[in-house]
């Protein structure tokens, strides 16, 4: 479910409730998500204060007292919510952190593609899940110059390339289609041919992600903000899941395609391949 905007919305929702609170108890209702939940996590976190929550790519990083931080990923269907003591445990509520003020942090993930693991603070930068990630899309590091260089050796379609987390992090299946629409670039364009349009693509990715964060992310099926409120960026999709509906810019029907097994949506007119003249 979550791309960068949903993870960032989760972080922003959790932070004011968790920062400065102590973890009284951790309860596991499941051993394994995508990987086993770190053995001994209950003991390692007990009594520790939550100092901060940060985000890298689509990972949440809980900075807690002691030797370890907690690295978590929401996979396709994961979410965090806050409850009160005595709450009704739902199916797929896999982990509960009981806080010192009786608030309960619940990790819920039907498909269990997510993750929760301890990592040593000293090893964050070199952690295998984090060390090969590309730049943060909303940072200055993600520039036209950088992207042009990253695309130069890539011949695959631009859509799958911007979803490659070693090129740029945080862009998933929704925001890839939305970004390419804003940039007026066809998803099938070979990535190396997009190097010359890197500036508009960088701007489009940044603006889509910023707008989505400002809207509390997108709720397609089950994603909710920490408060339980739905995201509402889905009401502002230009192309995603709009097959056959009129393009917001030109009125032509949005088309659906598949790239690397994932659905892609685009406007065949607005995103006609740049640099290729229409035949007549």
Partner DNA sequence: CCTTGAACCTGCGGGC
Partner DNA sequence: TGCCCGCAGGTTCAAG
- Rounded CA-CA distance 207/200 in Å is 10
- With CB under 7 A as the contact rule, the residue among 203, 236, 262, 274 that binds DNA is 262
**Catalytic status, residue 58:** yes
Nearer of residues 23 and 70 to DNA, judged by Cβ: 70
161 binds DNA (CB under 7 A): yes
List % helix, strand, coil for the chain (3-state, nearest 5). Answer: 25, 25, 50
Active-site residue identified among 11, 58, 154, 184: 58
User: How far is C-alpha 42 from the geometric centre of its chain's CA atoms?
Assistant: 27
* Contact string 224-253 vs DNA (x = CB under 7 A): -------x----------------------
Q: Verify binding: residue 157, DNA, rule CB under 7 A.
A: yes
HSE-CB at 199 with a 13 A cutoff on CA atoms is 1
37 binds DNA (CB under 7 A): no
x-or-dash string of contact with DNA, 207-226, rule CB under 7 A: ----------xxxxxxx---
End-to-end Cα, the chain, rounded Å:
43
Catalytic residue among 2, 5, 135, 137: 2
Tokens of 77: 């269907």
One of 34, 46, 210, 262 is an active-site residue; which one? 262
HEC string of 212-277?
HHHCCCCCCCCCCCCCCCCCCHHHHCCCCCCCCCECCCCCCECEEEEECCEEEEECCCCCCCCCCC
User: Which residues are identified as catalytic?
Assistant: 2-3, 58, 262
* Residues within the interface to DNA (CB under 7 A): 1-3, 6, 34, 57-58, 73, 75-77, 91-92, 110-113, 129, 153-157, 160-161, 163, 165, 172-174, 191, 217-223, 231, 260-263
């Amino acid at each position: 479910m979550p791309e960068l905007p949903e993870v960032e919305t989760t972080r922003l929702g959790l932070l004011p409730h968790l920062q400065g609170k102590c973890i009284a108890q951790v309860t596991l209702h499941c051993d394994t998500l995508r990987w086993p939940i770190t053995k001994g996590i209950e003991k390692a976190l007990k009594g520790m204060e939550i100092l901060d929550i940060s985000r890298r790519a689509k990972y949440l990083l809980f900075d807690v007292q002691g030797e370890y931080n907690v690295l978590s990923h929401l996979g396709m269907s994961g979410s965090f919510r806050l409850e009160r003591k005595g709450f009704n445990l739902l199916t797929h509520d896999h982990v509960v952190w009981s806080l010192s003020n009786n608030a309960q942090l619940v990790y819920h993930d039907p498909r269990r593609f997510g993750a929760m693991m301890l990592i040593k603070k000293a090893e964050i930068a070199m952690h295998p899940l984090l060390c090969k990630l590309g730049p943060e899309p909303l940072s200055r590091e993600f520039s036209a110059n950088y992207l042009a260089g990253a695309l130069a050796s890539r011949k695959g379609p631009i859509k799958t390339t911007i979803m490659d987390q070693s090129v740029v992090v945080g862009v998933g299946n929704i925001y890839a289609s939305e970004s390419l629409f804003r940039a007026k670039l066809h998803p099938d364009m070979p990535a190396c041919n997009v190097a010359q349009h890197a500036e508009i693509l960088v701007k489009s990715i940044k603006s889509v992600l910023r707008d989505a964060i400002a809207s509390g992310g997108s709720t397609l099926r089950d994603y909710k903000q920490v408060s339980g409120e739905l995201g509402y960026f889905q009401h502002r999709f230009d192309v995603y899941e709009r097959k056959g509906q009129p393009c917001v810019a030109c009125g032509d029907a949005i088309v659906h395609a598949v790239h690397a097994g994932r659905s892609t949506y685009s406007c065949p007119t607005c995103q006609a391949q740049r640099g290729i003249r229409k035949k007549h």
